[in-house]
Chain A
Amino acid sequence: MGFSRGLERLLTPWLVVALTIPGLIWALITLLLFGLSELTIYTAIGAGLLPMFVVNWWQGVKALDRDLLLMARVYRAGRWRVARDVVLLQLLPQMFASARYGLAWGWKIVVVIEMLGFGNGVGYLLYESYHLFSMERVLAWTLAFLSVMLVLEYGVVAPLERRWTRWRPRVSFGG
């Protein structure tokens, strides 16, 4: 996709359908299919994230700078060099965007599955707290959830992104 027009025409309607399926539905389907197992969680996350990733990459590939590809052809760059130096590194900002999105979305799905069927995990505990009318516990679990997300963002994703996009001048506003 992005490279082949025929494939794009073939896949676009499916992609649109896949994108509109709410995560909850994936959670329900995989729970029915695989029951209360780890497989349920992985499949639901995978099924939900795949169309998002595909769209993100597709748009990225479409936005690739064609002039750079021509430049690579003039200098007779090998396939591997083109794939890595021209395509992949150009898509990197896009990849970070989808990684962030995927991380957040995946966590939400896990919480929903835990709520629906599992006897442990943040989702289950949130659900339990809700039934106990315990606002404190609902908020506490939400906060715990949030802090894990923040640690992941600032501890893993952001430093990686900074390292890989240091070639872009940082624009500072009002400095």
Chain B
Amino acid sequence: MGGEAEMAVLVEVRDLVKRFGDGRGGWLPVLDGVSVRVDGLVCVLGPSGCGKSTLLNVVAGLEPPDGGQIRFYREGHRVEREEVRIGYVFQDPRLLNWRTVQENVEFGLQSLQLPPTARRARARAYLQLVGLEDFAGQFPLFLSGGMRQRVGLARALALEPDVVLMDEPFSKLDEITARELRQELLGIQGRLGQRILFVTHNPGEAALLGDRIYVLSDRPARVVAEVSNPIPKPRQAEAPEVAALARDIVGYLRTGQGAVTRRTFLVAGLALVAGAVAGRLGSWAWPPTAWAQPRVEVSVAAVGATGLLMRLVKDLGLDRKHGVELNVVPLAVADAERAVVQGRVPVGIFNPISAVRALAEGHPLKLFAPFLLNHNYLLVRAESPYRRLEDLRGKPVGSLSKISGTYNTLAAILYAKGLGDPERYFQVRFGEAVPLIALMERGDLEAVALFEAHVSRLLATGRYRVLLEFNEEFRRMTAADNLFIALAAKPAWLEANGTTARQIRAALAEAVEAFRQNPVGILERYGREIFGLDTAAEIQLAARRLRGVYTGRWDRAFLDRQIRQLRLVQSRGDFLPSHVSPEEVFWP
């Protein structure tokens, strides 16, 4: 052993500092003055992500240090890294999958410039050492994970290296294989006496393998403890001493992290002070809007009144004014509602009835910020003989998709009148608004349930008339306005983001108010794009019809009326199951 020890290489890592760019021009310290001496089987233990792999990469010369030194000594004399043979066992096997097991081991030997026969013999010998001689001709992908890791081990050992770097080499293996390989490693190291720098996050593994164990703190890593392993070899994983040492090490890990935590508090405190000072300097600039405002995705039907409301919010900057940034996701009517039910966006503009239905289907949703937006109509051609809803029984009637507010409201009215399911009462044809209008023009449909986006335009032509105004019908049936839209979100989101929800509500209420102040001006600006309104006459007509349609009132009486109304709809037929309580829908 003595002669070998003199030939052996000693690695000394002193005050090693390593930083990485954080991608924003700053620096993220990873290693903060780490000193390690590798003169046997040395373990470095630290929490995941603390920079252990970086330490190995710097020792291997794959990355330059930002401070400190790495020195190699042979027989007491300083030598360059190039003169030292370094083997590296990675966390993953890192094999050339297109080369056989034998060729992979030989790949690690090429720097030795051995004659081919000697190289082959050496590779074969080390494959035998790790018990893989029968698999020499196999390709790695045909082997198990444990076997592949052994090939990586053989590749490193076959080099007969002065130093072996091991980066959690057994962490991705099952425990049985890992145990086996640990014992093998202990045996091999006992026989060959390599210097091994073994990095792990497993205290038991460190206690079993390490002659000396360095415990690192959380990032930036510093050595918080250096423990000499007093347990004589051979060691057994199950031995109580090993378990006891592992417990001690965990204790060091904790104290190390505790120190870091204290430092984090200090930094947070400084940030608070700095923030307060900056606030004094210019209260308008603090906190900076860029990160102080939460960004919320809101799905909304791109067309129609909901689309208009959101455009107003964004174009007038009402969301930022109320301290939230809305990221509007314009979708088709049905998709805007589904997006929230499926959790793809946190907030959407919803029809309350479809929200109740979603609730009944087991997707909990709560509504907040209700707005009256009654602008749905059942239109027929001017010359058609129909006067009442009942006249359309069995006739072809067009509607937007089944999940749309238009359809839901139509269905609610039919149920309230005791007429039943619209699909059984009419021959319902679903489709987008424009194709539906075309079908009615052609005479394929007797009536179309539409929203204001198109109603004013169609009425202005004089070829159509309103058979049923959904708003009027609801008022007649329930003595209350039909609540048409509300912001909707999942209960968990609302609970966690109450302030944000109130901010969104305030922004929308202000948009409603802006519209009420100046409907003609706003329709002149957006009418063509959102409602397809072309002429001044169409704009005037739509402005008259939409005035007073939006409302932002949010009081108890209003809510009670809404709840009564939902109850009424709910009490009829099987459209809404009775076990759903309307209060569940609303968020006070």
Contacts and interface: CB of A to CB of B under 8 A. Distances in A.
A75 B92 contact: no
Residue among A70, A74, A81 with the highest chain B CB neighbour number at 10 A: A74
A67 B90 contact: yes
A73, A75, A89, A169: which has the most chain B beta carbons within 10 Å? A75
Interface in A111-140: none
Nearest to A77: B110
B88 A71 contact: yes
B159 interface: yes
B94 A71 contact: yes
Interface residues of B, number: 22
Given A71-B94, A74-B60, A167 B141 contact: yes
Contacts of B94: 67-68, 71
B107 A81 contact: yes
Contacts of A92: 98
Contact of A74 (B88, B92, B96, B141): B88
Q: Which of A73, A92, A167 has the most CB of B within 10 A?
A: A167
A86 B96 CA distance: 7
Contacts of B96: 68, 85-86, 89
Interface string A73-87: 111111001000110
A74 B110 CA distance: 12
B141 A169 contact: yes
A74 B155 CA distance: 12
B55 to A, nearest CB: 14
Given A78-B110, A86-B96, A166 B139 contact: yes
Contacts of B111: 75-77
A73 B98 contact: no
A113 B99 CA distance: 43
A170 to B, nearest CB: 11
Interface string B106-132: 011011000000000000000000000
Nearest to A78: B110
A73 B110 CA distance: 12
A5 interface: no
A90 B90 contact: no
A92 B88 CA distance: 27
A78 B107 CA distance: 10
B142 A169 contact: yes
Nearest to B63: A70
A73 B94 CA distance: 12
Interface residues of A, number: 22
B19 to A, nearest CB: 19
Contacts of B107: 72, 75, 77, 81, 85
Contacts of A85: 96, 99, 107
B281 interface: no
Contacts of B518: none
B86 interface: yes
A72 B96 CA distance: 10
Given A74-B60, A74-B86, A67 B110 contact: no
Contacts of B497: none
A168 interface: yes
Nearest to A72: B107
B141 A168 contact: yes
A89 B97 CA distance: 9
Contacts of A90: 98
Contact of B110 (A71, A81, A89, A166): A81
Nearest to B96: A85
B239 interface: no
A50 B141 CA distance: 33
A166 B202 CA distance: 37
A58 to B, nearest CB: 21
A53 B141 CA distance: 28
Contacts of B88: 71, 74-75
B64 to A, nearest CB: 13
B348 to A, nearest CB: 37
The list of the 8 closest CB pairs from A to B, nearest first, reads A76-B111, A167-B139, A74-B88, A89-B98, A71-B94, A167-B98, A75-B108, A169-B141
Interface of B: 57, 60, 62, 86, 88, 90, 92, 94, 96-99, 107-108, 110-111, 139-142, 155, 159
13 contacts: A73-B62, A75-B108, A76-B111, A77-B107, A77-B110, A77-B111, A81-B110, A85-B99, A89-B96, A90-B98, A167-B98, A167-B99, A169-B141
